[in-house]
Amino acid sequence: MRTLLTASTLVLIAACSQVNPISDEEKAEIDCLASITVVEITDAIREGSANGTDPAELQNVKPERIAAAIEKLEAKYSGEMDSAYLEYDINHRLDKIQDALNNRDPDSEATQIMNETLSLGKSCTFGS
């Protein structure tokens, strides 16, 4: 039993050690691309809602923009970890914006993340 446990542990360690961590440069690029994508998503939904776009069509905005962002990221960085982190980052930022808008607490973490995301998304350039 002890041998089986040791072997299982070694396999897990070997599998985990093959994942390349995200460098600080990649993280900064992903944060930029995530913020740009969040701004694109929120702008498209806001404009679509104002123009009377069918809500079913607006539901496609988020997955389409995330897919486009992943394509941009994969053109520059080829790791699956990067794509997963990008998708997580976009969804996390969108959730925090929703929290900030619902709670309207100017001092909350959600409001700070919303403001940082919107500012970064309008000021950074991915891939430069």
Can you give the residue ranges of every domain in the chain?
A: 26-122
Consecutive sets of 10 residues in the chain, 128 residues long: mean pLDDT of each?
Answer: 45 48 86 97 96 94 96 84 90 97 94 96 90
Judged by DSSP in three states, 126 sits in coil
Report pLDDT for 107: 94
Report pLDDT for 76: 86
Cα angle, residue 77 at apex, residues 26 and 128 outer, rounded to 5°: 65
